[in-house]
Every structure is written in structure tokens, then in C-alpha cells.
Structure 1
């Protein structure tokens, strides 16, 4: 039995507008359209929609999902196994963060003590959950170089890099109430620029660096992730990175 757009939307819990958008961009085209213009979805269409929504739950951008599903080598069973593994990892991280929240509530009430390390249990910036987005924006080459560069490090080296990353972000967060063009802010942004170029295995031009800063604000997922270090940090970094790029263009 084939379903109309409204029936699919109600069953799945998404909007009719979303299904229309998927159709318009060629991501999910209904297998049949009646003479009166009604879109009809088959069981195969619904299976594809399930795949799309699994990928969306894992923050894959629509263009990337379309590329994956159109690949002749795409294996639905293999993809489901991957979805399951990634969602279990996501659940584990969320459970840890919920536990940290519960402990923090007790801490604020004076019921328990918390070390600084315990206050950030569950936060993990060592891996980028939006790798698919990064691949789409900058291409596979830059991301593959980064992954290869990190993979070549020992466990101790990777942990040292993660600590340096964390320290830089905390430093910038402490400066976010000041001016983005201030000497201290620009010095911290210089550290961030040098860090990216040193440990990514890829050299980012000043213009790309500026665009990365803009992305911190344009993409709410990045904003949410960065602002965990302090509300407004993403906007501050955007502004400070733009100042840094403009000031240093002549010497690039």
C-alpha cells in the first residue's frame, strides 16, 4: 500500500515541508505521482527515508547523505550496523554528560565535592562529530591528512594535543568579554591558528581560517559545541579570527 505525503509525515513525525524539500533536492523522490499530483511513497521509499533520518540523527548534512545513498556500493545492512554503533557511542556520551549534570547539581547545593576533571566528564572534543560537514566544506584531502596525522601519533602524544586544544579554548573563553582585536585576544587566536596548522596535517590559509570562524556562528551545531566553553565564545572567536586574518594577510 502506497502512502501520501501527509500520511508519511504523520506516521514518521516530520513535516510535509521536509518531505517536499527532500523531493526537490532529489534526496527522496516518491516512486509514483498520480495524475492529480499526489506523491505516493512505496515501502522502498520508506526504507530509504529511514536511512536518511538515521544519518540526520548523526548530524550528516543532506548533500552528504545523498552522495552516500547514490553510491552503487551502498549496503543498507552495513549502514544499519554503522548507525547502531554510532548511536550507542552517542548514548554513552550523553549518559556520561547527564551524570555530570546530576553531580554538578549536587555540587552547587554543597552536597558533594567535585574535581575540575569531574566537572567536564563527558565532554569530548578529541573527535569531530561533524566530520561529514567538514569533508563537504573543505574536501576529503584536508580531513584525510588530519586523520592520518593524528593516527600517526602515540596515545600520549594525542592526549597532549587534546590538552593543548582544551587549554587554548579555555584561554580564549576567558578573554571573550573583552575586545576581539585586543592584544591578548589576538595572541590567543595566533595560538589557535598555529595549533590548527601544526596538528591538522594541512595548512589553512588566512582566508580559510576566517571562513572557519564564520562557520562557528553560521552553523548552530558548531556554536553549541564551542559555547560549552563559555556563552558567546563562538561569536567572539569569529570576530577575533576575522581580525587576525585581515591583519596578517600582507605577511602570508
Structure 2
């Protein structure tokens, strides 16, 4: 079946002006009716528009979508599968949060009480999912899949007291790191305290934080802008991650 531009616009829930723009930039090229020159869209165009709408919903730019649609069908399927996995992870996370919230509300109304471990289980699972999504590939390549998996399992099995201690240790790191980032003195007590706090924080989830592994993590901090953004946000200074890298390298020699 061939659709006119208005018919396809109504079907897809977008404007005919948008379809004209897609035609102009080559994202969704229309056929031309030989009798009147009007735009027409075949079933292949409908399928392509569905993919465009999917990728838009996933946050891809039109330029990125155009590049994706130029790839092989197998690559396109993989891109959709990757997005599905992310959506499923978000769904599972929201389901877990809703279940935990329902149990919390029930407990506050006098219903069954949650254990301390159960109160924080959802947050730990969320952090594990986030770590895997954002850093899993790099960590597996750098440290091996077994090491990364073991670290995730150790985090998941933290007791409530361990979890609180880990959070407190990271806060101690931020406090000392802010002082060193301000002074730049790597030989100061604050620098030594920041280094030790970082090692202590890692040891909550690492079986063996060797000096070489610690230096390798510093290199990852240096090369990945996501770590810079993380420490900038927590410490409040733009050179926080750079300072932490310098501290680790200084004390692991």
C-alpha cells in the first residue's frame, strides 16, 4: 500500500512538515507519483519511519539515526537489541523501587517490618546495574570478566553496616580530596588520608587492590571524562579527578 504524505503523517503521529524535512535531508526519501508528482511512501518507507521513531525515542539525534540506518540490517537489529536491554534494566529497576516503596509504606502503617538489609537492597541493585552499564565493558577489558563479576557480587552482598561504612569512607575521601585539590600538596597529611580512604573504599568490593591495579584505575580515571564529572560533582572542584589521579600515582610508586 502506498501512503500519501498526509496519510503517513497521521499514521505515525507526526506532521507532514516533518516528513518533508526528512525527505529533504535524505533520512526518509519519498517516491513521486508519476501522474501528479506528489510524495508517496511504500511499506519499506513505513518500516524505516518506525525505526526512525524508535531511535528518536531512545534519544538519538537525526544525524546519528541517519548513520545507523546506513548500516547493515544486522547492525540495526543489534542497536535495537541494545536499547531494549537498557529499557528492560530501567523497567526492572523501577519495579524493584516500587516494590520496596510499597513494603516501606506498609511497614510505616504497621504492617510487616523490613530488615535493614532489605531497606537498602534496591539501591545496591541499582548501583550494580549502573556500574555495569557505564563501566562494565572497560572494566572487563582492563581487569577481566571474573574480577569485575566478583566485585559486583561483593557489592551486592555487603551488609547494612558495611554499606554505611563504604558510604562514609567515600565521603571521607571527598573531604580530603577537596583539601588537596585546593592546595596541590601531594605530601600533605590530607593527601595521604585521601589515598588511604580511596584504597579502603575500593577494598569493600575488590578482593585484592594491588598497587598495579590501583595505578590502572588511576589511568582509567584520567582517560574517561565520566570519572572527572563524577568527582567534580562530589567534590565541587573541576580538578578533583586529576588530583586523585596524581595522589594515586604518587603513593603507589
Equivalent residue, structure 1, for 2:102? 102
Contact 1:30 1:42 survives alignment (8 Å): no
- Out of 101-110 and 184-193, give the one that drifted further: 184-193
Moved more, 94-103 or 165-174: 165-174
Larger Rg over CA atoms: 2
Number of aligned residues: 220
Unaligned runs of 5+ in 2: 33-37, 180-189
From the superposition, tell whether residues 146 and 174 of structure 1 become closer, same or farther in structure 2 (CA, over 3 Å): same
Q: For residue 119 of structure 2, what is the aligned residue in structure 1?
A: 119
Matches within 5 A, 1:82-97: 87-88=87-88, 90-97=90-97
Q: Rate the CA distance shift 1:172–1:75 in 2: closer, same or farther, 3 A.
A: same
**Per chain length, whose mean CA-contact separation is higher, i.e. which structure has more relative contact order (CA < 8 Å, sep 6+)?**
1
How far does residue 248 in structure 1 lie from its aligned partner after superposition? 5.1
For residue 100 of structure 2, give the secondary structure of its aligned residue in structure 1.
helix
**1:24-65, CA deviations, whole angstroms, 9 ceiling, x for partnerless residues?**
9x7x7121288xxx98765434423433554566x5755776
Q: Does the 8 Å CA contact 1:30/1:45 hold for their aligned counterparts? A: yes
Q: Against the structure 1 CA distance between its residues 176 and 67, is the aligned structure 2 distance closer, same or farther, given a 3 Å change threshold?
A: farther
Give the alignment partner of residue 235 of structure 1, picking from 226, 233, 236. 233
Change (3 A) 1:68 1:179: same
CA distance in 2, matches of 1:85, 1:206: 26
Q: Flag structure 1 segments of 5+ consecutive residues without an equivalent.
A: 135-141, 217-232
Matched residue, 2:182: none
RMSD of Structure 2 on Structure 1 (CA)? 5.6
CA contact (8 A) 1:4 1:41 kept: yes
User: Which structure has greater helix proportion?
Assistant: 2
| Residues 1:70 and 2:62 aligned together | no
1:98: Cα distance to partner? 1.2
